[in-house]
A and B are shown apart, each in its own frame.
Chain A
Amino acid sequence: MLNINNLHVRLEDEDKIILKGVNLTVEAGKVHAIMGPNGSGKSTLSYVLAGKGGYEVTEGSATLDGQDLLEQDAEERAAAGLFLAFQYPVEIPGVGNMTFLRTAVNAQRKARGENEMSAAEFLKEVRAKAKSLKINADMLKRPVNVGFSGGEKKRNEILQMAMLQPKMCILDETDSGLDVDAMKLVAEGVNALRDENRGFLVITHYQRLLDHIKPDVVHIMADGRIIKTGGPELALEVENNGYADILAEEA
């Protein structure tokens, strides 16, 4: 589904190379996790895939179901089925959460040549999904993420994911800033979306999230490359021994 091949990326403003040849394939129906120390390029990878500005791809490719992602604008990637759950969801004063969600859902449908969702249909669906994520009516009415707690923001990300029904979900440190209960709730939301046609790439520092969202494959990223790939046991190894052993091993 998601194929990343020898991806090299540098920051546009500084002459700094962040990704130095990332190779990664996420198959439909699978959950891949990426772990790695701070500054290894995990978040950059997620931003580059989602189409954020400020990065220059100097080499390599990234495709989703064979479509070249890197040639597309962020909104085209979203319509093609890519979703990024932000590490720091953005507050947008003045734009109601519901308006935002509905605009997004219908913009994607329009881009794919599908019919727009009616107001009634949308409302019914958003209410049901919000309920399972314990998002109340007030949070739906408020401006996007404004005044939301850390946990509320992350739940709101998962709600967007649930409404948009993407093919490929990237979760960038979705566990950061969450207490145990909130993490469970978010993980349940993610697990509810797991199916054979959908791929997940979960970026995290900690094993803890992976107790709730069980990965099929775990990658360790360091200094702009994936240096080790294994099963769920690799995450446990990191949890117990830190990254030092793995880094030393690969050096």
Chain B
Amino acid sequence: MALPELKQTATQTRLSAHTMPVGGCLTAARNAALSRVQTLGLPSRRDEYWKYTRPDTLVQPNAPTAHVFQHDDTPIFDGFDQLKIVFVDGVFDPDASDDLQLEGVQIDRLAEIGDQDIHWSKDLYGVLEARGQDPVARPLAALNTAFASDGVVIRVTGKPSKPISLVYVHNAENSDVMLHHVIRVEQGAELTLLEVGPAASRFNKCTEIDVADGGTLHHICAQGRDHERRAATHMFARLGKESTFKSFTLTVNGVLTRSEAVLELLGDDAVAHIAGACVGDGDFHHDDTVFITHDAVNCESRQVFKNVLRNGATGVFQGKILVKPEAQKTDGYQISQALMLDDDSQFLAKPELEIYADDVACSHGSTSGAIDETALFYLQSRGIPREAATDLLTLAFLAEAVAEIENQDIAASIITRLENWLSRRR
């Protein structure tokens, strides 16, 4: 079916602004992705999947201006032993990065494998993204596959001694960046992947994750503090038998951030957890869109999303669990909650369950509300000033999402970030 004219025009206008990186083993995948974009068209307000989030500024040819947010925070995971890979407005910074050598992993840069004729990532690049286009189209991810300038391609074969950390520096106020990562965790291997920073004025990130049988991937992302930036990120993960994937994203500030996750549990006894904590004040719009497919027996999935909103901030949650007929003994859990610190903010939630197996446990809940006055009074009656008591209750509200992070030091540093955010708003 032909695209509506407006969509067709918007898509062509955007496509004409990009040049495909040439040559190498990924060319076929990039071309296929380009034709996906042309067929699907880029998102518009009319699309059901974009009902709560306006895609205009993500689709338009140029990135809207986003001033670089100056602050004197030490980078969030700075104290940890880690292998850092730094991108400044999407450009790899070899001086700021560590040597890409670490026992148990093979790290390449996407920009460097482009001219190789053969590379293991060829079997994954654009493949998981393409799988994730059905039943809901995610054209911004296909756009990314076609045009991404760089990224990391990581193959985990052992249990590396420290996390790999992708550090995204935002430096130019009109930077428009597309990065594409491919992570393959081999059988029984294990990695912790950190991501830090706002990356660009407009950031389109696509991550394809393949966790083989018995593999484990922990992923913790902190999207930086820039107020004016925009980000549309996609994560496509495929999980094998007895594998584990746990992902947490912290979103602090940002005029528009949308995080889409498409997780497929394809092997029995796999575990997928995805969590997010977002705090927004004023001109803030954050969207968590999640699609989890259970296609194997005895798998567990958890979605835990917490939004703290004030001064007209908006939070969006679209979360779906699809349980296929064979996926018996599925244990699915989904919670999305918003704490509104005033009357001006809004939370839009669309939880969905679609279950075709008959022996499953799926629970879901979504709430939005104000701070609990009874609890507030209790704390105040013990001498804790109202503002401090409000912060304490707000952190308690966020705690369930942060608790999804297994590494206690990382969780503690996330909590510190949240405390700082709250204390700046006293």
| A residues neighboring B (CB under 8 Å) | 50-53, 73-75, 77-79, 83-84, 86, 89-90, 92-95, 99-100, 103-105, 107-108, 111, 143, 160, 164
Contact = CB atoms under 8 A, between A and B. Distances in A.
A196 B305 CA distance: 52
Given A92-B393, A94-B396, A103-B388, A160 B377 contact: no
Interface stretch (B118-126, B131-139, B160-168, B379-387): B379-387
A143 B379 CA distance: 13
Interface in B355-413: 373-375, 377-386, 388-389, 392-393, 395-400
B383 A111 contact: yes
Residue among B375, B378, B399 with most chain A CB within 10 A: B378
Contacts of B398: 94
Contacts of A100: 379, 382, 392
Contacts of B399: 93-94
Nearest to A144: B378
B395 A75 contact: no
Nearest to A92: B375
Given A94-B395, A95-B396, A103-B392, A78 B383 contact: yes
B383 A90 contact: no
Contact of A103 (B373, B378, B384, B397): B384
Given A90-B375, A92-B396, A51 B381 contact: yes
Given A53-B373, A103-B388, A107-B388, A74 B396 contact: no
A143 B392 CA distance: 12
Contacts of B386: 73-75
Contacts of A105: 383
A73 B378 contact: no
A94 B381 CA distance: 19
A78 B393 CA distance: 19
Interface residues of B, number: 23
A164 B375 contact: no
A92 B380 contact: no
Given A52-B377, A53-B373, A93 B383 contact: no
A164 B378 contact: no
Contacts of A95: 392-393, 395-396
Contacts, number: 80
A100 B379 CA distance: 8
Given A90-B374, A94-B393, 5 more contacts: A50-B381, A51-B380, A74-B381, A77-B381, A78-B383
A104 B383 contact: yes
A99 B375 CA distance: 15
Interface string B162-199: 00000000000000000000000000000000000000
Contact of A86 (B378, B393, B395): B378
Looking at A74, A78, A100, A111, the one whose CB has the most chain B CB atoms below 10 A away is A74
Contact of A84 (B375, B381, B392, B397): B381
The 3 A-B pairs of least Cβ separation, nearest first, read A94-B396, A78-B383, A108-B383
A79 B383 contact: yes
A92 B379 contact: yes
A145 to B, nearest CB: 9
A95 B384 CA distance: 13
Contact of B383 (A86, A89, A107): A107
A78 to B, nearest CB: 4
A86 B384 CA distance: 16
Contacts of B379: 92, 100, 104
A181 B126 CA distance: 68
A44 to B, nearest CB: 14
A73 B376 CA distance: 12
A92 B378 contact: yes
Contacts of B396: 92-95, 143
A90 B374 CA distance: 7
A196 to B, nearest CB: 23
B212 to A, nearest CB: 36
A104 B385 CA distance: 9
15 contacts: A51-B380, A51-B381, A75-B381, A78-B380, A78-B382, A79-B383, A86-B378, A89-B378, A90-B374, A90-B378, A93-B399, A94-B395, A100-B392, A104-B382, A111-B385
